[in-house]
Amino acid sequence: MEKQYLPNYKPEQVQSMRDELTYVGFTELLTPDKVDEIITQSKERSDETFFVVVNSVCGCAAGSARPGVTSALQNDIIPDNLYTVFAGMEKAAVRQLRKYLEPNLPSSPCMALFKGGELIEMIHRHDIEARSAGETTESIVKLFNDYCDAAGPSIPREKFDKLVSEQICGSTLEPYTA
């Protein structure tokens, strides 16, 4: 693996942050090919929506992004598909996704809704970091209600109530060394 694509953190240190999203139904996109595949599939199924989260270790924004999005997925209306990439971990996949997010500047964490392979709306880091998880949830639910039509929630309420949100700042994590 090229040095530029090595992860920033030890995988076990970010696993709980990954688990928080996969627990509620997100599929991880670990390679650029997987990113391209979901865009291609979305273009073929033009009536379907997908929501993607660029996950992050940033405590000030990701600490409200993950709980905001997991709560939003308790809504009665959600996207057809849910995906996530992890900034600082699968760097090549994140770089590929960011091509589809242009002309928006790179942002992590961030979230984006696509329909028919086209970007509908993006929620940037600056839209998240100064807000509570509840305010983030409200923004996401509005987006879902405006553009999506799949039945929610993504997981039963009883299962959701067992979810524990991770509040870690990247500055406290040990860097990955090869």
Phi-psi category of residue 172: left, alpha or beta, with phi > 0 → left and psi -120 to 50 → alpha: alpha
Active site residue 58: yes
Active site residue 110: no
**In the chain, what's the furthest Cα-to-Cα distance?**
45
Distance CA 69, CA 38 (A): 20
| 49-55 and 81-86 beta bridge pairing | parallel
| Neighbouring C-beta atoms of residue 49, cutoff 10 Å | 22
CB neighbour class for 152 (10 Å; exposed up to 12, middle 13-18, buried from 19):
middle
Q: Which of 58, 110, 148, 169 is catalytic?
A: 58
Residues with catalytic roles:
58, 60
